[in-house]
Amino acid sequence: MTTAPGLTALRSDPASAAPRLAVAVDPATAVDPAMASYRSLAQQVRAMGLLDRRPGYYRLKITLTILAFFAGWALFAVVGDSWASLAVAALLGLMFTQLGFIGHDAGHNQIFGARRRNQLLGLIVGNALIGLSFGWWVPKHNAHHAHPNEIGRDPDVGEGSVPPPSGAPGEMPGLLASWLARWQAPLFFPLMLLRSSGMHVLGIQRLARRRDRASAVEAVLIVLHAALYLTVVLWVLSPLRALAFIAVQQGVFSLYLGVSFAPNHKGMPIVESAAAAGFARRQVTTARNISGGPLTTFMLGGLNYQIEHHLFPSMPRPNLRRVQALVRDFCAATDLGYSEESFAGSFRQITRHLSDAGAASSRRSA
């Protein structure tokens, strides 16, 4: 939450509790000094085989996750037309997110050596099993990795918080934007329940614009998913219970996705421009790790090792724990800092950031 050495802090925006940073090195230094150390670290990591694929791990992980997914649907059929099916809906919401973690790893080419095989797996778990456009998500997420927390270039900046109204054409009406900005802290978790709905809509919009063969394949898979999903739910449940089932299942899916991704960057420094900074500096100073053991890693899909993941995006999930000590030493040697919080502590930081931003918005509009 502080300016890392080598970064120049700009005048703080009163609407943001996170520092806004101009990521730039000393003008007398042509190259970010952390880059040489990062190159040495990368060579060491490669020599240790930590970037090598882990086919055995992923075969077991993918098999068990997909079996659990279909077991959830089998349990749904056994429970039948009962309000107890809402508990199964919550379980399926969890399984949708676990499948999403596999899609995330496939999007980073962590699972297979061949890109096409990762894409095929991504289409299966993303489009066919959970109904989200893998082809939309991958370039969006790659842009986030290339420009983390950078204004105008990271598509995730502003997600989960509301920017102050500027009156620019095409923005929300001033009163609505002002109200949302003021209450963004208490609205943070309720709005998170709509996350999957927004991802569905954005993915479909992209497919409708592109109109190429790949988009047609994705669209067919999403339509197939929706048709099977609704058929099964409406076949087993009465209309009212079916509506409740869909709301709970999608709500849990959205909330679980949100609480898995939000701690990684929310409330961390916002970058004005990364043009003069090295790759390692951008990645480390904008990311936050979540402390915990194997259960935390399982529940967060390995995203708790966010700094390691941003430094080595193609590293297989089980190797992130093994590289952590090396990354800590690298951050200490280059004086970049290493942000790590408990799961609860990360959300305290986020809500404090949003509360301060809301209070600043209230003072400005008063």
pLDDT in tens, 264-280: 999 898 887 655 568 89
Q: Please compute, for residue 63, the number of CA atoms within 13 A of its CA located in the half-sphere on the CB side.
A: 6
Query: With contact defined as beta carbons under 8 Å apart, do 286 and 271 qualify?
Result: yes
Name which of 39-43, 146-150, 360-364 the model is least confident about.
360-364
pLDDT exceeds cutoff 50 at 366: yes
Q: What is the dihedral of CA 289, 290, 292, 293, to 10 degrees?
A: -60
Measured distance CA(66)–CA(17) in Å, rounded:
41
Measured CA distances, 149 to 2, 9, 55, 267, 273 (Å): 14, 14, 32, 10, 10
Query: With contact defined as beta carbons under 8 Å apart, do 4 and 334 qualify?
Result: no
**What's the gap between Cα 324 and its chain centre?**
20
Strand partners, 289: 340
Beta strand 8-9 with 20-22 is: antiparallel
Q: What is the pLDDT of residue 276?
A: 55
pTM: 0.85
Q: Please compute, for residue 246, the number of CA atoms within 13 A of its CA located in the half-sphere on the CB side.
A: 15
Highest-pLDDT range among 20-29, 133-142, 166-175:
133-142
Average pLDDT, the chain: 85
Under the banding of pLDDT at 50, 70 and 90, the label for residue 176 is: confident
Under the banding of pLDDT at 50, 70 and 90, the label for residue 28 is: very low
pLDDT exceeds cutoff 50 at 14: no
Q: What is the pLDDT of residue 171?
A: 46
Short-list 150, 243, 156, 232, CA closest to 195:
156
Under the banding of pLDDT at 50, 70 and 90, the label for residue 174 is: low
334 three-state secondary structure:
coil
Short-list 92, 47, 21, 88, CA closest to 277:
21
Name which of 79-88, 190-199, 258-267, 278-287 the model is least confident about.
190-199
Cβ count within 10 A of residue 276: 17
Backbone φ and ψ for 147, nearest 5 degrees, come out as -135, 60
- pLDDT, tens only, 331-343: 999 999 999 999 9
- pLDDT, tens only, 293-323: 999 999 999 999 999 999 999 999 999 999 9
Under the banding of pLDDT at 50, 70 and 90, the label for residue 254 is: very high
Beta strand 270-273 with 20-22 is: parallel
Q: What is the pLDDT of residue 157?
A: 81
pLDDT exceeding 90 applies to what percent of the chain?
64
pLDDT exceeds cutoff 90 at 197: no
What phi-psi label fits residue 335: left (phi over 0), alpha (psi between -120 and 50 degrees) or beta?
left
Name which of 12-16, 51-55, 237-241, 355-359 the model is least confident about.
12-16
Q: What is the pLDDT of residue 361?
A: 67
Check the CA dihedral 260-261-264-267 and report its sign. negative
